[in-house]
Each structure stands twice: as structure tokens, then as C-alpha cells.
Amino acid sequence: MGAPILEIRGVSKRFGKLAAVDDLSLSVQTGAIFGIIGPNGAGKSTLFNLVSGVSRPDSGEILFDGVDVAGWHSDAIARAGIGRTFQNLRLFGYLSARENVMIGGHARLKATLFDSLLNTPRARREERAALSRADELLARFDLAADADRFARNLPYGGQRRLEIARALAGQPQLLLLDEPAAGANAAEKRALVDLVRAINAAGTTVVLIEHDMGVVMELCHRIAVLDYGVKIAEGDGAEVRANPRVIEAYLGTPDA
């Protein structure tokens, strides 16, 4: 582990009168698996939206590899090396699984407009390479059999895996996973944990929003706890579990 790959400094975002994220700071070490947990409405997805360029923070900095990407467009952030999945799945439903993954790798290809228009040798070469890379990824994610199926027709677990595969096709240095275990059964969660570990071992830093404590505790080197847009705790699994503010946030105070 070296310098932090992602540093969030004093970031705030209001929607009307509501502060979804309030003066939040945290930092993610390169190569770590970092967890973000907290009750519903705590601002976790908003934070991801700020990092991936869906919305722009009202204040603060978001440093990715030392560069402030706050306010950048999503595509620029993706090209810089951040990939993400979405809480509510945003697959390209009427495209095949393979096409989804190939699109994920869009930024890694260099074919220009002219290459595309004229189907130049370079375009053809790149397409073949993109195709085989996509098939590789699909195989790795146990989706090879579904390669030609419409993404929307895949079983739920397959869809979740496909979204991760698509994000990985962009070869990101940082992967943001938004509730990847939602709706998964025990076996799927097991598989997910192995998958994320493998992704991390291959060199990708992972930041994970998750509600399933088992998954979080197993995977994450470090965890931040959010409540009402504010970070109320940070530390490793054991520290966070024992933190009274965290317990209160999840379970409420005795007389509440």
C-alpha cells in the first residue's frame, strides 16, 4: 500500500435544504478494499455519484491519484481510471452481455472516427482484440454461456456480475461497487467475496457500499460509517463494530 489513490476532502452536497453529504473526508489507500456502510439515506450513493461525476460537489476536493476530479464529467472520470457499478443496475438491457462488456472497454480502444467509418485494418484489429478481451472477461465471470443473450434476460445474479465485468473492461485502477450483494443468496455472496478479492489481488483498489455486514467484514481492510451525510466512524472491522455511535446509528438509542 502506498499513497492514497482516492482522497475525499471536505466534500459537501446539498439538495435543497437537505445536506446529503456534509463536509466528508476520507482517504482510500491504493490496493485496499475500502467499505462504506451506514443506514439508508446516509449519503453513500450520493458520495459515489460525486466521485463518478454524476453530480458535482458544492464544496471540497476529490483527489484521484493526486488530481482533483471534482466536477469532472463522468466520461472523463471513467477515462481517468475509475469504474463503477450502480445500486439499481444500469445495464444496456437490449444489448447482449458481450456488447455490454465491449462497451465497458470503450475508452481502451483507440480507433478514430475515420477508422470506424472506413473499417480500416486498425479498426478491424482492435475490434478482434476487444472481442476476445470481452469473451475472456465473460468467461472469468461465468457468463460465457450468456454472451449473446440480452442483458435484461439474464438472471439477477448474472446481471450483477455482468455490471462488474463491464466496469472492469475499462481496466480501472479504482472500482466503486454500489451494493453488489443486494438480493444475493448465501452462495452468490460467497462467490462475490471471492470475486472481489480476486479483482483486488489483480491490482484494482475497490471501494464498496454494502449493507451485508458479513460481506463487509470479510472483505474490507478499512471501513467508513456514514450517517446523515456525516462520517461517524472509520477504522477496521473490529473498531467499527465496537463503536457506540455506529451501534446507535443502526439500532437507535434505547429510548428512541
What's the rounded Cα separation, in Å, for the pair 117 and 47?
39
Indicate which single residue of 60, 83, 158, 180 sits in contact with another protein (rule: CB under 8 A): 83
Residue number, 204 or 240, with CB nearest to another protein? 204
132 lies in the binding site for another protein (CB under 8 A): no
Is 176 in contact with 36 (CB distance < 8 Å)?
no
Residue 101 beta carbon to another protein: minimum distance, rounded to whole angstroms? 10
CA distance 67 to 19: 25
Instruction: Give the x/- contact pattern for another protein in 86-105, rule: CB under 8 A.
Output: x---xxxxxxx-xx--xxxx
Which of the ranges 8-16, 57-65, 111-119, 179-187 carries the binding residues for another protein, by CB under 8 A?
Answer: 111-119
Identified binder of another protein from the candidate list 24, 36, 69, 107, rule CB under 8 A: 107
Is 51 one of the binding residues for another protein (CB under 8 A)? Answer: no
Which residues within the stretch 137-196 sit at the binding site for another protein (CB under 8 A)? 148, 150, 166-167, 169-170
- Residue 125 in the binding site for another protein (CB under 8 A): no
Please report, in angstroms and rounded to a whole number, the separation of the first and last CA atoms in the chain. 42
Instruction: Give the integer Cα–Cα distance in Å for 34 and 227.
Output: 17
Residues that bind another protein (CB under 8 A): 52-54, 73-75, 78-79, 83-84, 86, 90-96, 98-99, 102-107, 109, 111, 113, 115-119, 123, 126-127, 130-131, 148, 150, 166-167, 169-170
